[in-house]
Structures are given as structure tokens and as C-alpha cells.
Amino acid sequence: MPGRFERKMYKATCSECGKETEVPFQPQEGRPVFCRDCYMKKKGMQ
């Protein structure tokens, strides 16, 4: 059925906790990737 929004997600490993996660952008080498939990934690830190 068309009309469903499906965003391309990329599998990545969280640099913080090592959990497998999916991100809406292509993970780049040398760039840390964070899962949602760690991302929120970092954002909420300040």
C-alpha cells in the first residue's frame, strides 16, 4: 500500500553503550554514533 512514509535507516553501533541502533543518516567512519538513549542523555545533560 503506497503512501506510507518510510525513512531510510542505517544500522550502526552506539559509540557510548555499544548497543545496535538505527540512525536516519549514513554513519561515517571516525564519527561517533549514539543510540536514542545516549543521544537524549547527552542532550539533556546541559
- Residues 9/27, Cβ–Cβ less than 8 Å: no
Q: Which of 9, 13, 17, 32 binds Zn ion (CB under 5 A)?
A: 17
| Binding of residue 22 to Zn ion (CB under 5 A) | no
- Name which of 4 and 22 has its Cβ closer to Zn ion: 22
**In this structure, what are the phi and psi dihedrals at residue 32, rounded to the nearest 5 degrees?**
-70, 145
**CA-CA distance, 1 to 13, in Å (whole number)?**
31
- Work out whether 14 is an interface residue with Zn ion (CB under 5 A): yes
> Judged by CB under 5 A, does residue 16 bind Zn ion?
yes
* C-alpha of 9 from chain center: 8
- Residue ranges in contact with Zn ion by CB under 5 A: 14, 16-17, 19, 35, 38
